[in-house]
Structure 1
Amino acid sequence: MKIAVPYENGQIFQHFGHAAQFKLYTVESNMILNTAVVEASGSGHSAMVALLVQNGVDTLICGNIGGGAQAAVAAANIRLFAGNEGVADMAVLALLAGKLENHPTEGHCGGGHHCGGGHCH
């Protein structure tokens, strides 16, 4: 399994389409074998999903993610665990323990903002 988390300073970055980095976790038999931080070279959900596919990601843990991005992730056959926050490593450990929940966040960017056309206001 290969897990990706939008990443900033050890935390889950809260806006999927604008993440500057992703932390990738290679997992076998429920154990983390390797981690790497990769730079995102673009913005928008299409560029982010392409980066995940290039890196062989099959599972995404993220914070806020709009409907278009959720559809793109699903079309790439990547399992989605949305609406998470906090320390990236802890979220991955929770997933491996079967304790991470999916809280779809369509239409919301957090902090009282609402998304429209893929942009927060």
Structure 2
Amino acid sequence: MKIAVTYEEGQIFQHFGHCEEFKLYDTEDGKVQAAEVISAEGSGHGALAGFLKEHGVEVLICGGIGAGARAALQEAGIELYPGASGDADNSVRAFLAGELQYDPETTCAHHHHEEGEQCGGHSCKEDKNGCAGNRE
């Protein structure tokens, strides 16, 4: 199975649509066999699901994600585990062990963040629909 994680400096990047890198993990028998960081630059907000599909991704672990991207991933046959945060490698190991902490209801409906805000995290200063923890 190939797993992708939105990636930035070892952590799960918290806004799928603005992700510049993914870390891809090739797994077999519940263990990581190989991993590589790939650039998604130039793929565009709406093309990331196709980009992941082209790379053989079957599972995506991410932070915040919008409804359009959710639909595109579903159409591409990619299983989604949103609302995750923290170390990317540890998250994949937790996923493989059936222990990943994520929030299937996480969405991101806003695209203009104020300084210090992170989509998918719990650091928004206001109750904006779409941030993890704020249900629409």
Taking structure 2 as the reference length, the TM-score comes to: 0.78
Which residue of the partner structure matches residue 113 of structure 2? none
Structure 1 segment 1-121 matched on structure 2, within 5 A: 1-41=1-41, 42-44=43-45, 46-103=46-103, 104-107=105-108, 109=119, 110=121, 111-112=123-124, 114=128
Give the Cα separation in 2 of the matches to 1:10 and 1:59: 18
Give the Cα separation in 1 of the matches to 2:81 and 2:38: 20
The residue identity in structure 1 corresponding to 2:3 is: I
- In terms of Rg, which structure is larger? 2
The residue identity in structure 2 corresponding to 1:11 is: Q
Please, which runs of 5 or more residues in structure 2 have no aligned partner? 110-118, 131-136
Taking structure 1 as the reference length, the TM-score comes to: 0.87
* Higher relative strand content: 1
The residue identity in structure 2 corresponding to 1:60 is: L
Q: Offset of 1:72 from its aligned partner?
A: 0.9
Give the Cα separation in 1 of the matches to 2:33 and 2:48: 23
The count of residues paired between Structure 1 and Structure 2 equals 115
Let me know the Cα RMSD of the aligned residues: 1.7
Give the Cα separation in 1 of the matches to 2:108 and 2:47: 20
Contact 1:66 / 1:115 at 8 angstroms: preserved in 2? Answer: no
Please, which runs of 5 or more residues in structure 1 have no aligned partner? 117-121
Q: Offset of 1:91 from its aligned partner?
A: 0.5
